[in-house]
Every structure is written in C-alpha cells, then in structure tokens.
C-alpha cells in the first residue's frame, strides 16, 4: 500500500484510508465484539470499552494474548502500513452512542508513536488540536511554550483540524500529529467536519466521500458541513507497546472454593465479621472527663512505639443526629491515602461539618513522619450532610501490611486510593484481598494524582484495571464509583483558603464528589444492637486515680455507664464495671454497635488487660483453645504458600484483634476422611489447637498468616474445647 496517496495535507502526519475493510469484515468484527462475553465490556463515565492485549502502564505492558479475530485485523494493519516495527499487541475497542465522545488527549509514553484507529458503524468526526505547549504567534508560526503547566491541555483552535471518519475506514497518525496534537471526539450528536481556520492547513479530508455522505445525512452551516450522528459507532484503537513487563503474581481469589468460603460467611449471625489482630494501635483521643488533669504521658505499648498520649478536654456530649458509618482509606504506600484523609477533613470543615486535620496531624508518630508513611491506623471523624463518619487511615507500606488488617476490620466501607500515574500496585491488591477477608462489604475508588497524568486514556486504562481487579476479588467492579482527582492540590487549595466552597475549585470539588459517592454507594450498616455486647480490645491506657481505658470498636450490642462486662480471652475471665464511655472526645451515655469508643473500667490495672481480649456481656462468650474449621489455602499465584503443609503445621491465626499461634492437629477432606497433606488451593476441614485461650464462637472467620503474608482464610464450624 502506498501510504503517501492517503496522506492528509502536508502537516501534521495523518493518513486516512477509506474502505480499509469490507462490509463482510465489519460484520464479522461487530459479531465478535457484541457476541462474546458481556463481562468484557467495562463502563466508563462517557462510554463503554473493551481492553485487549493486557494492561498498559507508563513503564510498559503486562501482556495477554490477543484473540485470533483481532490478530487477523492487527496483522492486516501492520503489514499494509509498514509503520509498526513489530506486531501490534494492544487494542482498545470503544463504543460511542451519538451523544458520547472522548475528551482531547494524547497517548502516553508507553506506546510506540503511531496510532491506527479502525472505525465501524456510524460516521464520526475526529478533532485534532495543538498541545498547550504549541501556540500560534501573530504571523501564524507555531512557537513552543515551555511553561510546562500540568493538567488537561487546552485547545488552540487556530491550528485545529478535523477528520471525518466513515465506516470501515482506517485513520493513522504519527510523528508531529502524535506528539504535538491532542485528538478527541465531541460528545455532541451534531458535529462539524469541515473547518478552515487558516489557509496553511487544508482541512477537507477525503472530500469526495465526505460530500457524498453529506448529500444524504448532513446539512451545511456556512463553511462548515454538519454531521448528524444518530447511530452507535465502534472504534478499534490499535497500538504497539514495545516494552513487555513480567506479569506480576495475580492475587485474585478466583477459586470457587474460596469464593464460596468468603461469600457463605460474609455476614455470619450472630457472629460479626472477622477482625484479625495485629500489633498496632488506633489513635483515639480521650477527653479530660476520664482524667483529673488535662494531659497525660503514657509509656507506649511494647508492640507499637508511639508518641506521648495527649488527652484533650471533652467538647460535651455526643449527639446522634445522623447515622454513624465507619470508613477508611486503603491502598498502596505513597498513593496518597493520608493526603486524601486530610483533604476530606479540610473540605468538610469548610462546610462546618468537620475539624480540619493536617497531614502531619494524621501521620503523627515520629517514625511515620521520618519515613513519610503511615504505620499505625489513625482515626479521625467528620460529617457530611447525611452522615457522621469515623475514618480510619490505613498503612500501605509492605512492612506494615498486617497492621492494616485491624483498620479494615473496623470498616463498614472503604475508599481505595490508587495513583492514576502508577495504577494498582502490590499493596493495592493485598489490601483488597484483606478487605475481602475481614468482611469490608463495599468500597469506592479515588484515582489520585490526576494532575500528573497527561494522557486521559491512560487514566481510563487505570480505571479499567481497577474495575477488573475489584471484580476478581468478588467486589462489584462494574458498578463501584471511581472518582479521579488530586488530593494534594485540594489540600494546597484549602490550606491557602480554608473557606473554599463547592464550585469554587476543581480539585476541591473532586473531594466533594468523592464523599457524595460514599454517601450514596456505601449503605448504612444494619447494626447488631439486639445481640449481647462485645468489643475487641484495640489498645489500653492507664489513668492514675481513675482506672484503665480500653479502646476499640463495639462489634455488637450496646453498653452503658454502670454496666458490668466480662474481660474474656488470653487469661482467666474476670468481671469489671464500666464507669465512662467516650467517642471522639465526646461523652456517650450509651455506646452502640459500630461505635469506636474508649471504655473506662474500674478496678483493673493496665497489666491485667491487653490487646486481643474482648469485653462482653457477662456469660455471652467464653474462651476456647480448640475448634474445627473449614479453610481455603491460597495458591502460590494468589500470594499464598508454594508448598503443602501437614498435620502439626503451626501458623498464626488472626482472630478479631489478636494473633495467636495455633497447631493444625487434624486434616479432613470434603468427605470427612482424614488426610495427611494440604496443597495450596485446597479447601479442607482442619482441627486447630491454640496455645492460649481466645474468645471465639461458631461462624467466626479468621485469617491464617505465615512469614508476613496471608496464606489462608477460614471459618469456625464448631467449638471443641
């Protein structure tokens, strides 16, 4: 094929080939696109798309093999044009209804700088406009602007042009058209396909074909011919990603056995969701209502080096005017979880619904500030117009992933933070896995660092990858709200002007949009207030002359000042009286299921209570050391063990807020026949004997961890002793 005969003008380098495929080939392609699995379609805000060939990141492609029907087309493009140095390996199939388009954008650095777009179905107009860095001078010369501004580049219509793409046509652009121009499709059903902005650029593309079409389906408006879109258009964007990345270990739990295990016990009754334990502390501020003085320095617990514990004056009683929901930020280290948490408090503070928290007030521990990461889970509060939220900021650093489990165990829903510049990373996947294991029911997604992504399509690919990742963990990836923005730019804006309101700033509005999604998508949980009271102890503080404060989340039931509770697990069960209840520096008459509270206990020393114990209604739960459970053991490719284990295996069992070593004393298969070995990927029944008694009950879920990673998940079927 002699491409020069299809060249559009002299500059930029654009080729338009009408009738590149036959009507029969178009029909076959559309049959494959619409006749395959419906799950391949992913819905974005402005259109649907299918991603073929793998996931594209700025550093390269995590590959998947193209199907034969697509390979047939990509080979034809490759061989006919001669513009690609090797086989095309990535195809995006986009579906556009008449009122749908795509904003002007450039392709990212991961691609070879040639794009081939095959158009099917309805005609459409592709608009090209110069990048922001290219501006026209007074004499119409194009000069370069080195301002380096970030964000979505603006259009300069003085040098813009449009291409009318007919069905079965192929559009190719490269060189300056690739590097210096944005391309996009208007979301209007009426489009201009001939625009003359200056005489140096000829803007009529395949005029004979265009005129033929306009006689039947378009009108005219002065120098502009008008295209009326009334049908669906499908495009195949075919590209080459030269750098192929090694596929990261998939952590998706796709095994039917695991899915049944998780789904069957997602809402056990009467047992609450699993809350595995780790050595960490939730940062709760207690008030002077518990203290004879206004501040207290308490030695840090051995498991968690902490700053001195400062007690602040109470601000009165906590009034339940709105439903209370526990949410939190999860995701990979340095993707912006703590910055987003700060942005949420600052934005809602401007509406009078929160106390603004700066980044360093959330990441308050010295070792966190020094490393720039969150180690312990931190809790803040804020309100929207409809709800009161307790927000847990979870750590993302790999060294502290297990510390995240406690934060996740408290959540009624989560905000998954993913860098739009990097896409999902290892801890993104592990956090989603842990969230599923500990029973986090719903989440929304914030694609952070949007300001660092020049290629809008790359941001959409990250969104697509996140949706597929969530779906692989049994979340509803197709419907989960995904909001993009920049938490840092929102924080900077609100720091400069704390009174920024809705509509005043793009980046702050993204924060409001996120909370609107949280309000609407994460349901108000049904609290188990009718069940006997139970709170798993997170942390303990001793207050001289008053007693000992135990903090944690009320898992079920209610508790009031003056009531008696049992302290169960790890040691002999004892009975104590609650003399104070407080949440977020406010006094409570009664704590309800779902509340993150501090309970002041009379007659107990700090040494007598520890993390992992539970406070419960007297007689409602007892400690046990031996139980029978059904477990699913993760495969190697799911992040689990590489080898089998046998009777006598001694991992850590994470139950509520404690982690206890236990011994697998017996292994049975589905037929209750004794087995000697468990392979990764097996679903088996085991008998576990813990080294210390733990408050546990039938239906309670737990995680199995070994060597710093999760290797299995299970649910207790029966208590033995």
CATH code for the domain of 696: 2.40.30.10
The mean per-residue pLDDT over the stretch 67-93 comes to 94
Q: Are 604 and 552 in contact (CB under 8 A)?
A: no
In a domain, 384, yes or no: yes
In a domain, 478, yes or no: yes
| pLDDT value at residue 187 | 76
> Is the peptide bond preceding residue 684 cis, with omega within 30 degrees of 0?
no
| pLDDT value at residue 398 | 40
Partners of 237 in beta bridges = 92, 117
Active-site residue flag, 338: yes
Whole-prediction pTM: 0.58
Q: What is the CATH number of the domain that holds 495?
A: 3.40.50.300
Share of the chain above pLDDT 70, in %: 72
Q: For residues 124 and 273, state if they share a domain.
A: no
> Is the peptide bond preceding residue 260 cis, with omega within 30 degrees of 0?
no
What lies within 8 Å, CB to CB, of 464 at 6+ separation is: 42, 44, 49, 51, 55
Q: For residues 596 and 502, state if they share a domain.
A: no
Mean of the per-residue pLDDT values for the chain?
Answer: 75
Our CA angle for 426, 435, 588, nearest 5°, is 135
Residue 611 has pLDDT above 70, yes or no: yes
Q: For residues 63 and 87, state if they share a domain.
A: yes
In a domain, 517, yes or no: yes
- Point out the catalytic residue in the list 156, 176, 334, 478: 334
| pLDDT value at residue 44 | 77
Q: What is the CATH number of the domain that holds 117?
A: 2.60.120.590
Q: For residues 599 and 659, state if they share a domain.
A: no
Q: Are 380 and 353 in contact (CB under 8 A)?
A: no
In a domain, 553, yes or no: yes
In a domain, 470, yes or no: yes
The mean per-residue pLDDT over the stretch 671-699 comes to 90
Locate the DSSP E strands across 397-437. 414-419
Domain count within the chain: 4
Binning pLDDT at 50, 70 and 90, where does residue 191 land? low
Digit-coded pLDDT (tens) for 601-610 = 988 888 889 8
Q: Higher-confidence residue: 225 or 347?
A: 347
Digit-coded pLDDT (tens) for 620-631 = 999 999 999 999
Residue 509 has pLDDT above 70, yes or no: yes
Q: Which of 572, 597, 621 is the last residue of a domain?
A: 621
Residue 156 has pLDDT above 60, yes or no: no
The most confident of the ranges 106-115, 235-244, 650-659, 672-681 is: 235-244
Q: Higher-confidence residue: 362 or 663?
A: 663
The mean per-residue pLDDT over the stretch 520-536 comes to 88
C-alpha to C-alpha distance for 484 and 103, rounded to whole angstroms:
15
Q: For residues 170 and 290, state if they share a domain.
A: no
Active-site residue flag, 303: no
Active-site residue flag, 397: yes
C-alpha to C-alpha distance for 245 and 11, rounded to whole angstroms:
35
Taking alpha carbons only, the member of 88, 352, 85, 433 closest to residue 241 is 88
Q: Higher-confidence residue: 661 or 188?
A: 661
- Point out the catalytic residue in the list 338, 341, 493, 657: 338
Q: Are 592 and 573 in contact (CB under 8 A)?
A: no
| pLDDT value at residue 235 | 93
Residue 365 has pLDDT above 70, yes or no: no
Q: Higher-confidence residue: 57 or 471?
A: 471
In a domain, 262, yes or no: no
| pLDDT value at residue 270 | 37
Active-site residue flag, 478: no
Q: Are 398 and 427 in contact (CB under 8 A)?
A: yes
- Point out the catalytic residue in the list 42, 194, 335, 397: 397
The mean per-residue pLDDT over the stretch 50-71 comes to 87
Q: For residues 607 and 670, state if they share a domain.
A: no
Q: For residues 405 and 435, state if they share a domain.
A: yes
Q: Higher-confidence residue: 39 or 261?
A: 39
Q: Are 291 and 562 in contact (CB under 8 A)?
A: no
Taking alpha carbons only, the member of 300, 284, 349 closest to residue 515 is 349
| pLDDT value at residue 676 | 85
Residue 296 has pLDDT above 50, yes or no: no
Q: At what angle do helices 337-350 and 506-521 cross, to 10 degrees?
A: 90
C-alpha to C-alpha distance for 518 and 116, rounded to whole angstroms:
39
- Point out the catalytic residue in the list 78, 194, 337, 402: 337
Least-confidence region, from 325-339, 355-369, 692-706: 355-369
Range of the domain at 297: 268-321+524-621
Q: How many residues make up the chain in this entry?
A: 721
Share of the chain above pLDDT 90, in %: 26
């Amino acid at each position: 094929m002699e491409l020069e005969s299809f060249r559009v003008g002299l500059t930029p380098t654009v080729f338009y080939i009408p009738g590149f495929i036959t009507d029969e080939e178009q029909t076959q392609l559309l049959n494959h696109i619409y006749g395959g699995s419906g799950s391949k379609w992913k819905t974005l805000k402005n259109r649907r798309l299918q991603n073929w060939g793998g996931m594209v990141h700025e550093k390269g492609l995590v590959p998947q093999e193209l199907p034969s029907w697509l390979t047939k087309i990509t080979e034809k493009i490759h061989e006919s044009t001669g513009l690609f140095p090797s086989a095309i390996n990535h195809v995006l199939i986009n579906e556009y209804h008449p009122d749908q388009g795509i904003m002007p954008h450039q392709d990212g650095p991961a691609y070879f700088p040639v794009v081939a777009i095959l158009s099917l179905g309805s005609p459409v107009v592709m608009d090209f406009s110069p990048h922001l860095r290219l501006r026209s001078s007074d004499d119409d010369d194009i000069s370069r602007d080195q301002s380096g501004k970030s964000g979505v580049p603006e259009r300069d219509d003085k040098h813009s042009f449009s291409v009318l793409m007919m069905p079965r046509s192929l559009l190719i652009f490269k060189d300056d058209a690739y590097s210096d121009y944005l391309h996009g499709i208007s979301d209007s059903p009426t489009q201009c396909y001939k625009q003359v902005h200056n005489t140096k650029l000829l803007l009529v593309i395949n005029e004979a074909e265009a005129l033929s079409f306009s006689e039947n389906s378009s009108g005219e408006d002065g120098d502009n011919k008008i295209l009326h879109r009334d049908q669906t258009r499908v495009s195949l964007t075919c590209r080459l990603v030269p750098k192929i990345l090694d596929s990261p270990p998939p952590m998706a739990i796709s095994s039917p056995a695991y899915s049944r295990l998780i789904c069957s016990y997602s809402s056990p009754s009467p047992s609450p969701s699993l809350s595995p334990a780790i050595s960490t502390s939730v940062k709760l501020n207690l008030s002077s209502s518990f203290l004879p003085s206004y501040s207290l320095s308490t030695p840090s617990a051995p498991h968690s080096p902490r700053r001195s514990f400062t007690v602040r004056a109470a601000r009165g009683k906590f009034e339940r005017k709105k439903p209370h929901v526990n949410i939190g930020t999860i995701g990979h280290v340095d993707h912006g979880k703590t910055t987003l948490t700060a942005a949420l408090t600052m934005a809602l503070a401007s509406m009078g619904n929160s106390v603004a928290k700066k980044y360093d007030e959330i990441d308050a521990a010295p070792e966190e500030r020094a490393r720039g990461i969150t180690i312990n889970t931190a809790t803040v509060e804020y309100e929207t117009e409809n709800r009161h939220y307790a927000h847990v900021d979870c750590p993302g650093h790999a060294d502290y992933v297990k510390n995240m489990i406690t934060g996740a165990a408290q959540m009624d829903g989560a905000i998954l933070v993913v860098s739009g510049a990097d896409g999902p990373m290892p801890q993104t996947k592990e956090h989603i896995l842990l969230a599923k294991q500990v029973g986090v029911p719903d989440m929304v997604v914030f694609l952070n660092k949007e300001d660092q992504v020049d290629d809008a399509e790359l941001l959409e690919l990250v969104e697509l990858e996140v949706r597929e990742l969530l779906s692989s963990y049994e979340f509803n990836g197709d419907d989960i709200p995904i909001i993009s923005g920049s938490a840092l730019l929102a924080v900077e804006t609100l720091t400069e002007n704390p009174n920024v309101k809705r509509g005043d700033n793009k980046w702050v509005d993204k924060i409001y949009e996120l909370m609107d999604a949280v309000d609407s998508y994460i349901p108000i949980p049904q609290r188990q207030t009718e069940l006997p009271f139970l709170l798993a102890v997170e942390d303990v503080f001793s207050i001289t002359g008053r007693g000992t404060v135990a903090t944690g989340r009320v898992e079920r039931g209610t508790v009031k000042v003056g009531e008696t509770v049992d302290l169960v697990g790890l040691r002999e069960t004892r009975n104590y009286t609650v003399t104070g209840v407080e949440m977020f520096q406010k006094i409570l008459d009664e704590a309800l299921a779902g509340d993150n509270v501090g309970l002041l206990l009379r007659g107990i020393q700090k040494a007598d209570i520890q993390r992992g114990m539970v406070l419960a209604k007297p007689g409602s739960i007892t400690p046990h050391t031996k139980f029978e459970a059904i477990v699913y053991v993760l495969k190697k490719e799911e992040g689990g063990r590489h080898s089998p284990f046998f009777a006598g295996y001694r991992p850590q069992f994470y139950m509520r807020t404690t982690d206890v070593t236990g011994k697998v004393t017996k292994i049975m298969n589905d037929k209750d026949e004794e087995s000697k070995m468990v392979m990764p990927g097996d679903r088996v029944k085991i008998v576990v004997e813990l080294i210390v008694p733990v408050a546990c009950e039938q239906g309670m879920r737990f995680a199995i961890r070994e060597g710093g990673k999760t290797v299995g998940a299970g649910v207790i079927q029966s208590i033995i002793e």
